[in-house]
Amino acid sequence: MHFPLIKFEKIDTPIEDWDIDADPESITLQANTDYYGELYSKEDRRDIIESEWLKNFFDGIATIDTKKETITFLNPDVIDTAIKNYLIHTISDLYVEAKKEKLRGYDLRCSGEYYKDCWSLFNIDDYWQTSFDFICDAHYHAGQTWRIGNIFDAHI
- Output the pLDDT for position 37: 85
Indicate if the pLDDT at residue 77 is higher than 90: yes
Indicate if the pLDDT at residue 149 is higher than 90: yes
DSSP 127: E
Q: Do residues 146 and 13 make contact, with C-beta atoms less than 8 angstroms apart? A: no
3: left (phi over 0), alpha (psi -120 to 50) or beta: beta
The one-letter amino acid at 128: W
The residue ranges of every structural domain in the chain are: 2-155
3-48 pLDDT tens trace: 999 999 999 999 999 999 998 899 999 999 999 989 999 999 999 9
User: SS3 of 144, please?
Assistant: coil
Cα–Cα–Cα angle for 46, 140, 144, nearest 5°? 50
Indicate if the pLDDT at residue 65 is higher than 90: yes
User: SS3 of 2, please?
Assistant: strand
- Output the pLDDT for position 24: 85
97: left (phi over 0), alpha (psi -120 to 50) or beta: alpha
CA nearest neighbour of 60 among 79, 75, 77: 79
Q: What is the mean pLDDT of residues 132-149?
A: 98
Indicate if the pLDDT at residue 134 is higher than 90: yes
78-120 pLDDT tens trace: 999 999 999 999 999 999 999 999 999 999 999 999 999 999 9
CA nearest neighbour of 146 among 62, 78, 76, 41: 62
Q: What is the mean pLDDT of residues 50-71?
A: 98
- Output the pLDDT for position 97: 96
Q: In terms of residues, how long is the chain?
A: 156
What burial letters (b/e) apply to 39-76, b meaning 16+ CB within 10 Å?
bbeeeebeeebeeeebeebbebbbebeeeebbbbbbee
